Amino acid sequence: MRPELDFRTLRSQIEAATWVPDFTTLYRRAGRVRLRDRMAVLGALMGTLGVLAPVALAGAFGRPAPAVLGPNPDLPDASTPSVAPSAFGKFPSTVTVLAAAGDLPNLVAAVDVCVEVPQARRCSLQVTTLGDDATQRTPFVVDALRGSPLDKLSGVQIIRITTDTYMLSGEVGGASRSCVRFHISGDTRAQATAQPGQVVVGPSEHLPLGTQDRAVQLVQYGDLFGVREKDGALSLAGQPPLARRTVVAGQPAAAGWWVAGADLHTGAPAVSVSKDQGQHWITQSLDTPAGIDVPTVVTKDGQNAWAFVRYRTSMRLFRTSDGGANWREVRDAIALPATLKTLDNRPVGALIRPDRSLLLWIQADATTYFLESNDGEHFGTGAGPGGAIAPVDNGYASLGTPARVSTDAHAWQEAALSATVLPN
């Protein structure tokens, strides 16, 4: 007999095999998980803002005011600006003393007056007075040497050839040296009409020259000419046997003509001396390789002289006591300052003070280094006025900012500069 089916058990088995989940419940659980994750992210963001917001608010609203400081003794007085407002309004103007000559207390100075227009700096080379008296109302010379106010100018020199006649020279745009000659009134306080100066042309004849007549060059490394003190006339002169010959300027006329250059055969630094206005020359090469430029030579009496030969990171010194007939090297005489990295493109000058001590200066950007020696053999750190120094007939002029003058190159006093005009 067939057993009776258990329908309840069979139904349970069929339902277990064919059961489908309730997706509505799953959707509800997934929504709760997403909401929980979003709340966690929002909580993290709120915590971050709670840390950063106070810092941002303090930076925006709680910045302290600048501290009020007293004057810095190592810096120039801020009440004296280095530039002055110009007639062009927003562009400042500067006045830079480039050279000086003549007698103290009032010298004749070459100054460059520039309007500092960005990318188009406009300048005018002018001649005015420098010293105690600043009442000269008009420059003696304006717009000298340059063909355009935009031309670059370097190597400016001014020499006195008679009591009231001067020669101004410089290199325009890296070209050869050009010169102008000008005459000044004996009364520097008188109103003068500014002139561009007369371009100097080389002479074609020999004139008698005396012991007080100086040597000049009209172009860089060019021929020498004698210039007569009594009338300013130029004369042909005998030439020293040197390459790159350069007249040693600023020396007393009685010391003779001294010329620095290079040996014609070896290229070694050399010095020529003439005591008869170029008729005869004593020429000696210095026992050292060629330097950056011709030697820097200085003498006061025409017998004792020093020649400084510059290299990129060193300097060698030679000395003569017989008017240039013989030179000997002074060993280990000059130790350059450690902060002076190179002598490339550094103007260098030397002078002999009335007390016979030597002062050597080296310009490096905005700094001028001074070295001095009491015996002409050993140099140490010295004090100076702050700029390049130009010997004048009865003293010295510092071409820094501000310009200064001195009779002994020890004590310096600030000098007043007379009127200048802005370039067109």
**How far apart are alpha carbons 399 and 108 in whole angstroms?**
13
* Residue 151 scores a pLDDT above 80: yes
pLDDT value at position 43?
A: 67
pLDDT, average across residues 321-331: 95
* Structure confidence by residue, pLDDT tens digits, 121-132: 999 999 999 988
The highest-confidence range among 102-116, 134-148, 163-177, by mean pLDDT, is 102-116
* Structure confidence by residue, pLDDT tens digits, 212-262: 898 988 888 889 999 888 888 899 999 999 999 999 988 888 899 999 999
Mapping DSSP onto H, E and C, the string for the chain reads CCCCCCHHHHHHHHHHHCCCCCHHHHHHHHHHHHHHHHHHHHHHHHHHHHHHHHHHHHHHHCCCCCCCCCCCCCCCCCCCCCCEECCCCCCEEEEEEEEEEECCCEEEEEEEEEECCCCCCEEEEEEEEEECCCCCCCCCECCCCCCCCCCCEEEEEEEECCCCEEEEEEEECCCCEEEEEEECCCCCCCCCCCECCEECCCCCCCCCCCCCCEEEECCCCCCEEEECCCCCCEEECCCCCEEEEEECCCCCHHHCEEEEEEECCCCCEEEEEECCCCCCCEEEECCCCCCCCCCEEEECCCCCEEEEEECCCCEEEEEECCCCCCCEEECCCCCCCCCCCCCCCCCEEEEECCCCCEEEEEEECCEEEEEEECCCCCCEECCCCCCCEEEECCEEEECCCCCEEECCCCCCEECEECCCCCCC
pLDDT, average across residues 50-66: 45
pLDDT value at position 192?
A: 39
Any idea which of 107-121, 167-181, 191-205, 353-367 has the lowest mean pLDDT? 191-205
* Structure confidence by residue, pLDDT tens digits, 340-359: 889 998 999 999 999 999 99
Average pLDDT across the chain, whole number: 81
Q: What percent of the chain has pLDDT over 70?
A: 75
* Structure confidence by residue, pLDDT tens digits, 366-396: 789 999 999 999 999 988 888 899 999 889 9
* Residue 79 scores a pLDDT above 60: no
**How far apart are alpha carbons 393 and 334 in whole angstroms?**
28
